[in-house]
Structure 1
Amino acid sequence: MLAGAVTQFYAALRWPGWATEVASVALDQGTSAWPPPWTREGKDLSAMSRKAIPLAELVSAQQDLARQLGFR
C-alpha cells in the first residue's frame, strides 16, 4: 500500500471525475452508490447514482445488507 498499490487496487471502482466528486465529501460522510458496483447492474460506474451520506448511515446499510445475504 505504501508503494502506491492502493491506486491499482481501487482502479476498477473509480469513475471518470471521481477525484473531483469525492473532494467535496465531508470526513463524516461516505459515497453511496446505486446500484452497488458489485452487482451486474452496477458495473457501469459512470452511470450509477452516487451521493454523499453520513458515514454511520452507510455502514449501517452495509451491515444490514451483509446480514440479509447471510454474511453476518
Structure 2
Amino acid sequence: MTNRSSKPGDHHISVEFPAPGGLRLDEAHLFLTEVAPGQQARDTAQSLTRVDRPVTCRVTGVFRTASP
C-alpha cells in the first residue's frame, strides 16, 4: 500500500482467504505503522488456519489514522 496522505500514518488492513466457491476459510489483520507520506509499505498476510488448497487473499477493509 502507499500512504497518499501528507502526514505519516498507521494502517490496519483486514484481509480474508476465500475458497474458489466463495467459502471464507479464514481472515488476517496487518498493521503498518508510521508509513511516511508517499512511502510504499508491504507485508504478508498469514492465516492461523492450515489451508491445503490455493487461495487468493482479498482486502476487506483499510483503516488509517495519523501516526502520533
Q: TM-score range by the shorter chain?
A: under 0.3
RCO higher in structure (CA 8 A, sep ≥6): 2
TM-score by length of 1: 0.24
The structure carrying a bigger helix percent of its residues is 1
The structure carrying a bigger strand percent of its residues is 2
